[in-house]
Amino acid sequence: MKVFISCDMEGISGITDPTYINPETGSNYQRGRAYMTHDVNAVIEGAIAAGATEILVADSHENLNNIHLEDLHPQARLLRGTPRDHSMMHGLDETYDAVFLIGYHTRHGVPGVLSHTMSRVIKNMYINGQVVGEFGFNAIYAGLYGVPVCLVSGDNLIAEEALGLIPDIQTAIVKYATSRTSAICLSLQESREILQEQASLALQRCKEIVPLTTELPLELKIEFSHYGQAEMAAIVPETVIIPNTTEVTYYAKNQSDMYKTMRAMMNLASSVPFC
């Protein structure tokens, strides 16, 4: 069985604040990388125990270059580095049996450890009118290939967000949010056991879990933090600013078009200073 693992960082065991996740300024960043490698290895072990024969791990945080390759489980392959057309989900196609979203976090504007959606410039994203964070966006992307997201790991609140979209998903809770930058964290040994167990169960149940999908074409709407960002994002051909808002819409013909356009809009918007 083929398993695709997208591994973000904010929802990893032991990580509670930006010092663990910022490659340039994070005083705990090297520790965060070790925790990230720990979590993904536990998931790989659980997947192999349940029959996985091919595993691709997509490093999916910041510069996409965080997991320690030298410590990665030898039966997995690692996709690292940037740019990638489909960023966190690059490499996924219809030949995979299951997707695991590891180290994920809640969307912008709601409680959860280090909650946000993709970038500081994005307040909200919508696909066909449904608000989505990174979990929902990537789950729909996978679902349009017919591949179910079978496992999510992170804090207790991303588990709730995921269950609201995919009721049968397995959840591996490695910490319990007490604020946006604090949590009650499980020991690494306990989180390892939970990740292994839930990964095995997820792969065993992958045929029972329905892919999260929606109708084509895909209406992508992004709400930006201020109007200058929306103006810059609307440089992308066929995008439209909704009057008197910071929302920009685009109709995508498929999931690849949706992902690449989202990235283009976000990157253009990120070039605009706040003042």
Task: Indicate the annotated binding residues for Zn(2+).
Answer: 8, 10, 61, 105, 134
CA–CA gap between residue 123 and residue 108 (Å, rounded)? 6
* Residues 6+ positions from 82 with CB-CB distance below 8 Å: 63, 64, 65
Helices in 188-274 by DSSP H: which ranges? 188-204, 227-233, 255-270
Catalytic residue selected from 86, 90, 108, 116: 116
Answer yes or no: 86 catalytic: no
Residue pair 170/158 in contact (Cβ under 8 Å)? The answer is no
Helices in 83-144 by DSSP H: which ranges? 134-143
* Residues 6+ positions from 103 with CB-CB distance below 8 Å: 7, 8, 9, 10, 11, 12, 15, 36, 39, 40, 61, 153, 154
Residue pair 99/55 in contact (Cβ under 8 Å)? The answer is no
Tell which residue, 225, 236, 239, 235, has the closest CA to residue 275. Answer: 225
What phi, psi does 224 have (nearest 5°)? -95, 165
Element (H, E) at 44: helix 29-49
Q: 185-222 burial, b for 16+ CB within 10 Å, e for fewer?
A: bbebeebbebbbebbbbbbebbeebebbbeeeebbbbb
Q: How far, rounded to the nearest angstrom, does the alpha carbon of residue 203 sit from its chain's CA centroid?
A: 19
Q: State the catalytic residues.
A: 116
